[in-house]
Structure 1
């Protein structure tokens, strides 16, 4: 029997951009879906070459490390060609910058990769790390710290702007070399370096934004210790006492002990105690109020710096949610209308919302239809998983959970009591109440519009009096009203604390 061949679907319209990051500890390739405001990685691979190992003692990159790096870069070159990533930005940081044979290595690396490699100064490295943080956390206010294998970059961020950064030679690989693998000697080196560092004087009472794999692994360990239910590192927050307690503990562990911890990458076992030491001593000196993890750093900062100014000003969360709507919703134009339509609930003097509440409501509207292709019994559950675990940025964990629950209630019903309890415990009751209210408005919108644009702008929703919620329908659309609309409207009015009132008006 002859097999029937499947018709080939059109591939996604990506414009892949590759970032090659040649660091002191690893060489990494990340390919993003395009030069976007909210870039999503479609491929991510690193090779732990250890270019910076031994550099502080010899002044040179070892032959073994350079050979491994060059081999990795040849592989990355073919992968970029395979994925159609014509735009490649390649950078090298502290190890290549500081090594006596760094220029020779860059020459070999350039030939292997087939693209120019920019050796970043410490100042430029710090700037790109800070821009990466701001691209993912636009309202960041504090100090950004990017810990690599050979150096630590520190930059102040506030109101979307950055100050001149500083680079200090406190990367774990360098510390291991300079201290002879003695934690006591390493502590003295760190404390001496931080003793008169001006930027740390501006840290007190503000957030510290941690960048880099070493500190991300510390956050993963803290999540495991506290049974944190949301396994998303971006915008994960630790209080200063909690971060110091954990960092102090880990800095006292041997590499063999760290290697046995399930939450930690085995390749980080040697360097993690030294990275933990740097964090502990910095928090002691700078007195930050908390530590916030940023999944965005140098690589995302590099893409961000290449965008046009008007694109850089766009909200990364809204951009990502619109992209979700384009991929999953029946009509993205309907979701724009849904944003405007729900505005009517929050325009009165007693029903105003903050700018942050408004942007989260808009984000929830763009996500409201992403589960329609899923089996009806699983739409709510699927939406919670998809939204809570999505790779979008520009939102903290409580905000992420608000979005997940709003769409959950949109499918399961605004009065449902079956939402995941572990996630519900992470937010205040008023957040859940607001999610229920907005979901009820969404449900009413969908039963009246059929998820298609053009209908909602003709239907009014208002709180004209303190006691009534009014639904205004033109006479030509009166046949739309029925049991489902009545039920959805009654639920919305109940959650709004008002009586439902329907008005039929002339067209």
Structure 2
């Protein structure tokens, strides 16, 4: 049991978090994920999958393969012991298309329930689609588009608009099912895919919107693309391709004479490679049918959607990014209260109309403030480098890659102003974002450096040292009890901040 403290402004609450586990018996893999607790910003503490291929022959034989069943049941036995070791009392167990469609599916469920000592819920296609939709709600804010969750046995499609489910359907287009149905002849698959998609006229509503790609096969495609272009940020959540880029990626599989001809395909797990051509073909036919603006890849799927459905409404409404940052600051920073003070302190900087920020930019600034001190335990020479790595690759939800890079750069500049140990990595990340984003990261990094020189990372100081804009000057007011905090290093850091915002610096000891 984890002692968990959350502070947001003046509100404080302490709760006991119980770990929660999900066992997902899919058509291709059987997976156990244990989360620290059922909260808005999920933190996995254990994640293991076994590629069993339960759905490999269901389409042609109607049955689960005996070898696949044996592997799956062995995985369930192992997962029960792991859950016991991790003191997980609340485990949700779900099974999807393969078990749902197989004539011996109930026999498998009976044996699985005996091994686990608890019930297994076989999801209907409708519920599987709804959980996929909730997974997108868990991982994104202002979601608007069509989400597709491609498994081994089925494809779930949902039309989402601002956390509202408009349409949903499940189609027999999973990678293993297509291999089985076509006899592993990919040239037979387009007619099957197009015929199934034609049954959903509402897919045309995806035109010009986002397509959210969920599922291991599509994530493998995204990883392949990252490796091909040497993308510096190895994070799948929120990875984005234009429709044209995604089509070009998919067409590699259709045009290749053999799988090994595709650049970097060796970086994909061997057990996943066989379904890649079929997964690429499904994505290609979807894009041509829907005409989306972009493809965004999600690591949040039905497991996270299941947890989302268990949350009370007030928890569902929390911002996933700020929730994560607040939780992380509670665990890693010297003072989460101080982190919230930084949000208010930097509000004064952007009160200047010349520095006007959007609502999303303000939200990202707050996230940067909350994360600004999480690297304080590192050696001073490496705090910038370690902060970049930690934040750029953290398990963040509710943020795209541009925002993620902004956060990493902001905290990097909070520790380092010029060449440092993390400069090479930060330079690669900077190449992926606009000049405006880079400038904002430098401003916020400089503000955080100046603020920490005043507060020493402790709460209760900077709320008493307000910033104001006066006649072309950025003014820092320090009350007499803290007048001795004024000095050369503070003035140097404050001058950097003032210059970045186009003002002259002035530090005033105020009564």
TM-score normalised to structure 2 length:
0.94
CA distance 1:258–1:104, shift in 2 (3 Å): farther
> What residue is the counterpart of 2:313 in the other structure?
309
Tell me the equivalent position of 2:282: 278
Counterpart-to-counterpart distance in 2, 1:251 and 1:74 = 40
Matched, 1:366 2:370: yes
Cα 1:260–1:376 change in 2 (3 A) is closer
Q: 1:90 aligns with which of 70, 85, 93?
A: 93
Question: Could you tell me which residue of structure 2 aligns to residue 491 of structure 1?
Answer: 496
Q: 1:101 aligns with which of 91, 94, 104?
A: 104
* 1:243 is aligned to 2:246: yes
Counterpart-to-counterpart distance in 1, 2:185 and 2:423: 53
Equivalent of 1:175 in 154, 175, 178: 178
Aligned-pair distance for 1:141? 1.1
Matches within 5 A, 1:312-323: 312-323=316-327
CA contact (8 A) 2:468 2:476 kept: yes
Shift of 1:101: 1.3
| Residues 1:262 and 2:266 aligned together | yes
CA contact (8 A) 1:217 1:263 kept: no
**TM-score w.r.t. structure 1 length?**
0.94
Residues 379-394 of structure 1: pairs in structure 2 closer than 5 A: 379-394=383-398
One of 135, 139, 144 as aligned partner of 2:142: 139
For residues 120 and 291 of structure 1, the distance between their equivalents in structure 2, rounded to whole angstroms, comes to: 27
Q: Is the 8 A contact 2:252 2:262 kept in 1?
A: no
Quote the Cα distance in structure 2 between the aligned partners of 1:196 and 1:117: 31
1:252 Cα deviation (Å)?
4.7
Contact 1:127 1:164 in 2 (8 A): no
Give the root-mean-square deviation of aligned CA atoms. Answer: 1.9
Match of 1:454 in 2: 460
Aligned to 1:113: 116
Superposition deviation, residue 478 in structure 1: 1.7
- Please name the residue that 2:11 is paired with: none
Q: 2:206–2:290: 8 Å Cα contact kept in structure 1?
A: yes
1:401 matched to 2:405: yes
Q: 1:55 to 1:206 in 2, by over 3 A?
A: same
1:423 correspondence with 2:429: yes
Aligned residues: 496
> Does the C-alpha gap of structure 1 residues 176 and 259 become closer, same or farther in structure 2, counting only changes over 3 Å?
farther
Q: CA deviation at 1:255?
A: 5.5
Alpha-carbon contact 2:228-2:263 (below 8 Å) kept: no
Q: Alignment partner for residue 212 of structure 1, among 198, 215, 230?
A: 215
* Alpha-carbon separation, structure 2, partners of 1:418 and 1:394: 26
Unpaired runs of at least 5, structure 2: 5-15
Q: Which residue of 2 aligns with 1:129?
A: 132
Q: Deviations along 1:199-242, whole A, 9 cap, x unmatched? A: 31111111110000000000011011111111101100111111
Which residue is 1:71 aligned to? 74
CA distance in 2, matches of 1:260, 1:434: 36
Paired position in structure 1 for 2:447:
441
User: Structure 1 residue 81 and structure 2 residue 84: aligned?
Assistant: yes
- Once residues 386 and 175 of structure 1 are traced to their aligned partners in structure 2, the CA distance between those partners, rounded to angstroms, is 39
Distance 1:72 1:48 in 2: 10
| SS of residue in 2 equivalent to 1:155 | strand
Contact conserved, 1:237 with 1:293, CA < 8 A, in 2? Answer: yes
Please list the CA deviations of residues 30-64 of structure 1 after superposition, one character each: whole Å capped at 9, or x if unmatched.
Answer: 11111111111111111111111111111111222
- Tell me the SS of whatever aligns to 1:350: helix
Are residues 1:36 and 2:59 paired? no
Matched with 2:13 is none
Q: Aligned residue for 1:4?
A: none
- How far did residue 348 of structure 1 move? 3.3
What are the Cα deviations for residues 128-158 of structure 1, in whole angstroms up to 9, with x where unaligned?
Answer: 0111111111222110000011110000111
Partner-residue secondary structure (3-state), 1:390: coil
